[in-house]
Structure 1
Amino acid sequence: MSIKQDLKQLMKPYYMFNILLSLSYIAFKRVPILCHNFFETDHCEFEGRETEILFFLIIVVMIRTRKAGSVSMVNYISSSFIYTKVANLILWFNADILMGIIYGIIFIFGAFLFPEPTYSGADQVIYFRGAENLNEELQKEKHTIWLITFYTVWNPACVNFAPIFAKLSNQYGLENLKFGKIDIGRHPEAAKKYQVNDSSFSKQLPTVILFKEGKEVMRRPIPDGKNNFVKFPFSEESIQNVFGLNHLFDEARNQLNTQKRLKTE
């Protein structure tokens, strides 16, 4: 995603609202006119505890966004929202209990008023309704190659990956090379069957699995020798390279051409 596209994305209400919440305490504490009115003091500087909280926040955001595999400015910012808002909540409560309560109310209602935007563009993605539905489709036409994303609607990494997966489906989708998605938040039995952790602390979201002849042949992310999941950058280029989409596309297209030729003979 280009810088221009990133900036356009950040203009959406969800991002604008959360950026304002994330910067609220710093703005009210450091801008003199706001500081004098809300804190009733001429000392518009961070105190020792406030500085500690902000430094700790920076460290947490850097670690968590790197572990999430964020690959663009929007990804980094959206991945950090929960930590920055919690830090602001602590700062507001530390400064004034009433302001902390007001911030908390705004925090909660904002989540309902400004949900994170989801991808709604064109794609060739098939959405499955549970593990049984997915398994039936995998077994029905075993000559079809499937690339399936296991995701949840509330996970920022899954939301950020949605337009990338949609673009790949438009670029590589064929009759015998198909792209699918299954929401394991709504269908936890699918998460259990395909061993994908769907908890809020999961390092497996999203998970992309390649199926051939109805069987899994590759997935990302994967665990290392200590059963910790290796960070995987869910970018367009990484999916193309790791899953060999160009090779799969040529293989599937040649198979279709062969079938058409046999029908005409």
Structure 2
Amino acid sequence: MSFKQDLKQLLKPYYIFNILLSLSYVFLKRMPGLCNYIFASDTCEFEGRETEILFFLIIVIAMRTRKTGSVSMINYLSSSFIYTKIANLILWFSADFLMGIIYGIIFILGALIFPEPTYSGPSNVIYFRDLQGLEEELSRNKKTTWLVAFYTVWNPACVTFAPVFAKLSTEFHLENLRFGKIDIGRYPEAAKKYHVNDGSLSKQLPTLILFEDGKEVLRRPTTDTKGKLISFLFSDDNIKKAFGLNGVYENCRNELKRSNKLHHKSD
């Protein structure tokens, strides 16, 4: 996404609302007049505990956005909003219990009124409605290769990954090379079947699995020999390299050509 597109995206209510919530404490604490009234203080300076919380917040955001593969301004913001709002909630409760309650109510109402915008660009992705639909599609034609994303709608990393996966689906789609997604938040049986942790602290979201002949052949993220999860950056280039998409595409295209030739000969 270009910088111009990022700026256009920032004008959407979700981003405006969350930026205001994320900056609320710092802005009001440093604003003369408002600071003196709201915090009943003669000075508009941060106290030691407030400074510690803000520094800790910066460190957490830097670490988490790196793990989620955020590569643009919008992705960084989407990944950091939850942490900045929680930090603000702690700061408001520390300053005044009533203000903390008010902030918490606004926090919850904002999440309901202004949901995060979903990707709406070009895509060749099929959304499976349940585990049975996925299983049926995998077994319907075992000559079709599937790349399937296991995701949840509430996870920032999954939201960030959506346009990347959509772009790949338009670039590599073939009749026998297809792209699918299944929401394991709605269909936890799929998470259980394919051993994907769908918990709020899960490091397996999203999980991308390549199926050939109806069977899993490769997934990311994966585990090492000790069973420890190996982190994976879900960027366009990393996915192409890890799954060998260029080679998979060529193999599927050649197989498709052979199949069409045999079909024409039989006619």
Range into which the TM-score falls when normalised by the shorter chain: over 0.9
The one-character-per-residue Cα deviations of 1:40-94 (angstroms, maximum 9, x if unpaired) are 4330000111111111211222222222232222222211111111111111111
Cross-structure match for 1:264: 264
Q: What pairs with 1:1-265 in structure 2 (closer than 5 Å)? A: 1-265=1-265
Tell me how far 1:122 sits from its aligned partner: 2.6
In the alignment, the residues of structure 2 paired with residue 67 and residue 259 of structure 1 have an alpha-carbon distance, to the nearest angstrom, of 42
Does the 8 Å CA contact 1:68/1:231 hold for their aligned counterparts?
Answer: no
- Tell me which moved more, 6-15 or 213-222: 6-15
The amino acid of 2:241's aligned partner reads: N
Match of 1:25, SS?
helix
Does the 8 Å CA contact 1:124/1:170 hold for their aligned counterparts?
Answer: yes
Structure 1: runs of 5 or more not aligned: none
Match of 2:186, SS?
coil
Q: Given the two structures, how large is their TM-score scaled by the length of structure 1?
A: 0.95
Does the 8 Å CA contact 1:69/1:231 hold for their aligned counterparts?
Answer: no
Tell me how far 1:162 sits from its aligned partner: 0.9
Tell me how far 1:234 sits from its aligned partner: 0.9
The one-character-per-residue Cα deviations of 1:159-197 (angstroms, maximum 9, x if unpaired) are 111111111111111110000111101110000000000
Match of 1:238, SS?
helix
The one-character-per-residue Cα deviations of 1:9-34 (angstroms, maximum 9, x if unpaired) are 22221111111111100000112142
Structural RMSD (CA): 1.4
Does the 8 Å CA contact 1:210/1:216 hold for their aligned counterparts?
Answer: yes
Structure 2: runs of 5 or more not aligned: none
The amino acid of 1:260's aligned partner reads: N
Does the 8 Å CA contact 2:89/2:104 hold for their aligned counterparts?
Answer: yes
- Tell me which moved more, 211-220 or 52-61: 52-61
Aligned length: 265
In the alignment, the residues of structure 2 paired with residue 197 and residue 166 of structure 1 have an alpha-carbon distance, to the nearest angstrom, of 23
Match of 2:201, SS?
coil
Does the 8 Å CA contact 2:67/2:233 hold for their aligned counterparts?
Answer: no
In the alignment, the residues of structure 2 paired with residue 149 and residue 217 of structure 1 have an alpha-carbon distance, to the nearest angstrom, of 14
In the alignment, the residues of structure 2 paired with residue 27 and residue 230 of structure 1 have an alpha-carbon distance, to the nearest angstrom, of 39
Runs of 4+ in 1 over 3 A off after TM superposition: none
Query: Identity of counterpart residues, as a percentage?
Result: 68
In the alignment, the residues of structure 1 paired with residue 68 and residue 27 of structure 2 have an alpha-carbon distance, to the nearest angstrom, of 28
- Tell me which moved more, 41-50 or 205-214: 41-50
The amino acid of 1:17's aligned partner reads: F
Q: 1:227 to 1:65 in 2, by over 3 A?
A: farther
In the alignment, the residues of structure 1 paired with residue 219 and residue 9 of structure 2 have an alpha-carbon distance, to the nearest angstrom, of 29
